[in-house]
Chains A and B, each alone.
Chain A
Amino acid sequence: MRSYITLFGAVLALVISFLIFTNFPAANRPYTILRGFFSEISGIALKIFDMPMRRVREYYDLYIDVIHAKKEVIELRKKMDALYLECARLREMERENIKLRKILELSEKNTYRMTVAQVVGEDVKSWHKCIIIDKGTDSGIRERMAVISPRGLVGQVMEANRKSSKIMVINDTNSAIDVYVEGKEIRGIAEGSGFSTLKLKYVKKNEEPEIGDRLITSGKDGIYPKGIPLGIVVNVDRKKGGIFLDIDVVPFANYRVLDQVIVLRK
């Protein structure tokens, strides 16, 4: 008898979980609260578990750094000399830019405040590409905020809890970003494939993207600001049927090795 009650409960729970998945409001709302509660706990637990791991990694990195330090110092000195010259040239360009902006009466739009966050975990399932960061709504992070790294675009905030947030990275199959090919009048949608490369879609065959072209965000999707580097074109297939090209893109920011990210707060 007891096992039949359990069976009935399991079937009922199965139906409820199905309704939650279909976003049925009566089932979804209470479940969101419950899930949020567990996400809070998991966020705190991840922070605690991440501490010793981070320390081990720091010591390992320190050891590796010491080994390579001498060689790098020589290389960096050479680079530094070159950068001094480049810096002087850029300063001059900036001055010129300010002057031109004043002339055109342009003001800086889309000013974002930045929040730096540590990556403390990764999605427990390989079905989705998601990372977990140690900052949440307490730090002003909200859903649909863009997340970047010094290399380029990482993704967007998918779920913000008080102390942690889940970031859907650009490799996820649910991710789609409006982009331009830098220096060319080509626009397309960069979609995640679930693997290490992205697909640049809706670029017509009469357009001329090439291998090595860089992609930047267009700012027209309302989530990602304009001009953030996204990735580089690694393959252009013109033989595929249809009116659009089949283009593979490797993102600049590899989410698997990210340690810190920057959340752009609107």
Chain B
Amino acid sequence: MTRFFVSLVFFFILTTSQVTLLNYIPFDFLKADLGIPFILYEAFFGSISIAFWIAVSVGIIQEGFSSCGPGGILFGKISIFLFSFFMKNRLFVESQYTFGAICGFSEVLESLLMIGLSLITRGDISNAPNILYYILPNATLSSLFSFPIYHIYRSFEYKYGEREWE
């Protein structure tokens, strides 16, 4: 449980800072998804059930900061969790770079799912060019942001050990 709350508080502080900073930086490419590394790290290196609850919480919190249709971001985050669930034993994450690559891929997956979801439920893809335009910069930036998050988690595990941290 400690792991869940620490992740959630850390994510909330990071996202709030990001949303506030974005207001002062007139640049659209800086919208990295800071929730994905938390879900994936927990799924690959921690408990799968905690990863699920992090995915749900991250989805709902991000919707609080977005004008995306209700359920859209939540759907994306749970899909990323399911992706990590099935890939946990198939992908070998040995460094920050592999972890970053998976985070970037997850961002691409989420964006494509959003287009698919809009098409299936509303028959509308007017937002697709906009989503596709930002897909690569966002994926790259999400990968880059996942590096420090990966290191912080690693240092936590090294410092506090598995028993206390669990």
The interface stretch among A9-17, A81-89, A204-212 is: A9-17
- What's the dominant secondary structure at chain A's contact region? helix
Cβ contact within 8 Å between B17 and A14: no
The interface stretch among A101-109, A145-153, A166-174, A240-248 is: A166-174
Closest residue of A by beta carbon distance from B62: A124
Instruction: Report the count of interface residues on A (CB-CB < 8 A).
Output: 60
Please give the distance in Å from B103's CB to the nearest CB on chain A: 16
Instruction: Report the count of interface residues on B (CB-CB < 8 A).
Output: 55
Cβ contact within 8 Å between B70 and A21: yes
Cβ contact within 8 Å between B130 and A132: no
Total residue contacts A-B, CB cutoff 8 A? 165
B 127-143 binary contact with A (CB < 8 Å = 1; else 0): 10111011000100000
A128 to B68, CA, bound (A): 7
Cβ contact within 8 Å between B134 and A126: yes
Please give the distance in Å from A54's CB to the nearest CB on chain B: 9
Cβ contact within 8 Å between B71 and A21: yes
B 58-94 binary contact with A (CB < 8 Å = 1; else 0): 0111111111111111110011011001000000000
A11 to B85, CA, bound (A): 11
- For B28, list chain A residues within 8 Å (CB): 126, 256
* Contact of A6 with B65 at beta-carbon distance under 8 Å, contacts A17-B59, A21-B71, A122-B19 already known: no
B56 contacts partner chain A, Cβ-Cβ < 8 Å: yes
- For A130, list chain B residues within 8 Å (CB): 66-67
Closest residue of A by beta carbon distance from B15: A124
Chain B residues in contact with chain A, CB under 8 A?
12, 15-24, 26, 28-29, 31, 33, 48-49, 52, 55-56, 59-75, 78-79, 81-82, 85, 111, 114, 117, 121, 126-127, 129-131, 133-134, 138
